[in-house]
Amino acid sequence: MTKIEFEEINLRGWKSVKCAGGCGRRLTRSKKFYQTLNPFNRLPPNLGGDVKTTGDIREELNRDRIAWMKEPETCIHCQKKE
């Protein structure tokens, strides 16, 4: 069996926010956003359906990272109360 490895393109996101549960604790979170550069990773059909370039992937990962950074976070103490 042949094993093929594709290049991984990644971005890291960090955020420090107050707990959305109401306690006011400061929370720090990090997350890795990634995709692989491969012939199966394509743009949507309405954008041509071509294989994504490194730039296309980075733009998409950055949009995902920005959306994640805007999401509220709740600490484990407030999650137990719910």
Tell me if 47 is assigned to some domain: yes
pLDDT, residue 9, reads 96
Tell me if 68 is assigned to some domain: yes
CA neighbor of 26 nearest in space, from 35, 17, 37? 17
Query: What confidence tens digit (pLDDT) does each residue in 15-71 have?
Result: 999 999 889 899 999 999 999 999 999 998 998 889 999 999 999 999 999 999 999
CA neighbor of 17 nearest in space, from 65, 71, 61? 71
C-alpha span between 23 and 30 (Å, rounded):
21
Tell me if 77 is assigned to some domain: yes
Query: What total of structural domains would you count in the chain?
Result: 1
CB 54 within 8 A of CB 9: yes
pLDDT, residue 37, reads 95
pLDDT, residue 8, reads 96
- Alpha-carbon dihedral sign for residues 76, 28, 32, 52: positive
**Predicted model pTM:** 0.84
Tell me if 52 is assigned to some domain: yes
Residue 73: pLDDT above 70?
A: yes
Residue 81: pLDDT above 80?
A: no
Domain that holds residue 54: 7-81
Residue 82: pLDDT above 80?
A: no
